[in-house]
Amino acid sequence: MKLWVTPKGDRWLCDDCQKDFEKAINEEGWRVAFDEKYNAMLRCSACKQPDVEMFD
Ligand SMILES: [Zn+2]
């Protein structure tokens, strides 16, 4: 989960959702403020899921 600085404020995005926001990241120049690994307390602002490893 990364904390992104965006024109509309900071937001957490998981790696999956980061792909969906790649266009905005590039066009609006988002930057990573913080990279927090495996913190189950955090929720992605897009999919509302915690950052947990999926094993299958
Ligand atoms: Zn997400």
Convert the pLDDT of each residue in 6-54 to its tens digit. Answer: 999 999 999 999 999 999 999 999 999 999 987 888 999 999 998 776 5
pLDDT of residue 54: 59
Task: Give the helix, strand, coil percentages of the chain, each rounded to 5.
Answer: 25, 30, 45
Q: Is residue 25 within 8 Å of residue 33, measured between CB atoms?
A: no
Ligand 1 center from residue 44 Cα (angstroms): 5
Q: Tokens standing for 25?
A: 């990241």
Q: Contact, 14 vs 49, CB < 8 A?
A: yes
0.75 exceeded by the pTM? yes
- Rounded to the nearest angstrom, the distance between the alpha carbon of 27 and the centre of ligand 1 is 20
CA of 48 to the centre of ligand 1 (A): 6
How far away, in angstroms, is 1 Cα from ligand 1 center? 8
Look at residue 37 in the predicted model and tell me its pLDDT. Answer: 83
**Cβ atoms of residues 37 and 23 within 8 Å:** no
Query: CA-to-CA distance for 33 and 56, rounded, in angstroms?
Result: 31
